[in-house]
Amino acid sequence: MSWTDERIDLLQKMWLQGMSASKIANELANGLTRNAVIGKVYRLGLSGRAKGDAPGEDHASAKPSPRSPARPSGHGSHSHASGAIAHSPIASAHHASGPIASQSAHSQMSRGQPQPTAQRSSAGPGLISGNTALAAEPMQFEAPLRAPSADVVVPIIEPVTIMELRESMCRWPIGDPTQADFRFCGARKSPGAGPYCGCHSAIAYQPQQDRRRQRPPKTA
C-alpha cells in the first residue's frame, strides 16, 4: 500500500499532534514501520516538529550533518521489525487444543495452549544443551502454590498484548489467537530459552522422557 492522500493527511495530523513515529506507524497499521513514517515525514518536510522556525533568522547551522555513516553492503530489505512474531507457536495453533493448561487459577486462560514441541535430536537451535539446564533455574514461581494436576506452573504476571510485546519478552501465547483477549506471556525471555521465558521454555522444550507429564488430550 502506498501513501494515499488520506493517509498522508492522517500522518500529518498525528505527527503534528505530537504522536511518536512508532505510535503513528502502528496506528495506521498496515505493517508500517516507524521508519516508514519517519521517512515520509522527512520527505514531506515536516521533520522538525515543534521547532519554532524563525523565518527571518538563519543560524547557518540548519543541517550540515557531516555524517558519514558506515554503509556496509548488507543493506536493503531484510526481515525485521514489522513481522514481530512470525515464528510464534500460534502460527499453526488455533484449534490445536494443547493440553497445557497451567491452571494457576489466574485470569483469562480460555483454552488451547499450543505446544511448540521442538526437541528434535537433542534440543533446539542453540538452546539448553542436554536437558539438565531445565531444572536449573526456571521454576522459581511454583514453590508457593503447588498446582494439583500439573507441575509446570507459569509465572503469575500480567500477560501482554501483541503491541506491548517486546523482543525481550516471552512469546508464549495465552488464550485464543482469534479472540481479542489474546495475549502473550510477556515475562522476560531467559537466555537460551528460545522466544520464551524460563518457565515456558521448560514447557516448550521438554525432554522426551518427561514429556508424558503432559499427556496429549486424546490419544485414541
Partner DNA sequence: CCCTGATTCGC
Partner DNA sequence: GCGAATCAGG
Q: Which residues bind DNA (CB under 7 A)?
A: 1-3, 19-23, 32-36, 38-43, 47-49, 63, 65, 67-72, 74-78, 80-82, 166-168
In SS3 terms, the chain reads as CCCCHHHHHHHHHHHHHCCCHHHHHHHHCCCCCHHHHHHHHHHHCCCCCCCCCCCCCCCCCCCCCCCCCCCCCCCCCCCCHHHCCCCCHHHHCCCCCCECCCCCCCCCCCCCECCCCCCCCCCCCCCCCCCHHHHHCCCCCCCCCCCCCCCCCCCCCCCECCCCCCCCECCCEECCCCCCCCEECCCECCCCCCCCCHHHHHHHCCCCHHHHHCCCCCCC
CB of 198 to DNA, least distance (A): 16
> Whose Cβ is closer to DNA: residue 20's or residue 107's?
20
CB of 51 to DNA, least distance (A): 8
Question: Cα-flanking dihedrals φ and ψ of residue 166, to 5°?
Answer: -115, 165
CB of 134 to DNA, least distance (A): 24
> Whose Cβ is closer to DNA: residue 57's or residue 167's?
167
> Whose Cβ is closer to DNA: residue 42's or residue 107's?
42
> Whose Cβ is closer to DNA: residue 82's or residue 119's?
82
CB of 182 to DNA, least distance (A): 19
The residue written with cell numbers 496506528 in the block is 27
The residue written with cell numbers 555513516 in the block is 69
CB of 41 to DNA, least distance (A): 6
CB of 10 to DNA, least distance (A): 13
